[in-house]
Amino acid sequence: MDFTAEIENNVRLALSEDVGSGDLTASLIPAEGSATATVISRQGAVLCGTEWFEACFRELSPQIHVRWLAEDGETIRNGQILCEISGNARALLSGERTALNFLQLLSGVTTQTRHYVDAVAGTGATIVDTRKTLPGLRLAQKYAVKCGGGMNHRLGLYDGILIKENHIIAAGGIGPALRTAEKIAPPGVFIQIEVETLEDLRMALDAGAKLILLDNFDLDGLWEAVILNARLTNKGAVLEASGGITLENVRAVAKTGVDRISVGSLTKNIRAVDLSMRFSAHI
């Protein structure tokens, strides 16, 4: 996916929010003054958001140059210089906070995702994100999940069908809900159904479900669900565990044999990575 338009939109909104009618403090610096700066990591992490970072400065001054010493998806260490920046001093000062906000947030998402991906390494399970994203930054956060080794679920309500409890009730049951979904789904759109019990799972499998969300199953329930899927369909359905997943229990969940594990905290409960920008010279 080409993120160019999305990045530009994100950056324009963020700069409008921060700079508004003009950066009053940056007026202390001569309009034609130039400067150089570096961005330094203050902790170990996984980098993400370089394009958003650059776009913040390009929007203020197309002549600003950024030379990266690390790239998205790369593990970085405490004290590492991530990039060198040079150009108009006022633009560097005005764009600093917004650019760092993007870089710190998206690096936080990627770092969190990498922790989960590493935790399930060797089990065969895939870590998947959710729609629990910051408003206006969904594509950015989902890009960050992929940089961390995770997989994207649907981007929104428009590109996938996820049949939840209330949809099932309104449609008249698991079977009718799936049959209706198959009739209305555009080509290439996946259909997933959420189940809360093993009996629901059995009905979904009998109805031909190919992608099933196991909502808040405990470990014993997940083991039984995997066995039931193998016995009834020879593992014909993809099983996704969801609900109550943490770094402490995710490996145990993965070892039950589920195919995917969706984790809302990849994009919802994010701790920004500690980065700083330091000016080294000005004219």
Task: Indicate which residues carry an active-site annotation.
Answer: 97, 132, 164, 194, 215
| Distance, CA of 39 to CA of 234 (rounded, Å) | 52
| Distance, CA of 271 to CA of 280 (rounded, Å) | 28
Q: Amino acid identity of 279?
A: F
Tokens encoding 187:
């080509």
CA dihedral 259, 234, 187, 185 (to 10 degrees): -90
| Distance, CA of 88 to CA of 62 (rounded, Å) | 10
Is residue 248 within 8 Å of 265, Cβ to Cβ? no
Question: Which of 203, 185, 183 shows the shortest CA–CA distance to 195?
Answer: 203
